[in-house]
Amino acid sequence: MNEQQPANTADDPISSFLESVQDLRGEDKTVRSTAHSSRVAAEGWTRAEQNTGPDTAA
């Protein structure tokens, strides 16, 4: 897709959109994922969990 420099004027749709996104996100910058790996091999369960960062869940 075409790439152009975004305009800086507040009434430009892109700038307005980005300002609104910032308001929507507020202070919530948290990004969390819940990566989970499992393996049930013939000999039984293998602990094959994948750790993808301090905030990951099961």
Partner 1 sequence: MTTVQSTAPVDFHFGPIPVMHQTRVDRIRALTPTRPDMPGADPGLDVPLAYAAAHHYLEGAEPAARAGDIDLFDWYQANLDAGTGRLCASTAVGPCAVITPNELITSPISDTPFYLLGPFTDPAAAPERALARAAYKKAADTGFADLVTHHARILVFLGRKEYHDRFDSWTISRLPGTVFLDHIDDPAALARDLIHEAGHNWLNDALTATNTLLPGDAHFPSPWKNTNRPAYGFLHACWAFPLTMIYTANILDQDSELSAAGRDFLTRYLDLQRRFLAPTADTHPQALTLIPDPDLRERLRHVHAQALVL
Residues engaged in binding partner 1 (CB under 8 A)? 1-6, 13-14, 17-18, 20-21, 24, 30-42, 44-58
Find the shortest distance in angstroms from Cβ 9 to partner 1: 14
The tokens for 51 are 């750790």
- Three-class secondary structure of residue 49 per DSSP: coil
Least CB distance from residue 13 to partner 1, whole Å?
7
Choice between 2 and 9, CB closer to partner 1: 2
Q: How far apart, in whole angstroms, are the C-alpha atoms of residue 52 and residue 58?
A: 11
Secondary structure class of 20 (helix, strand, coil): helix
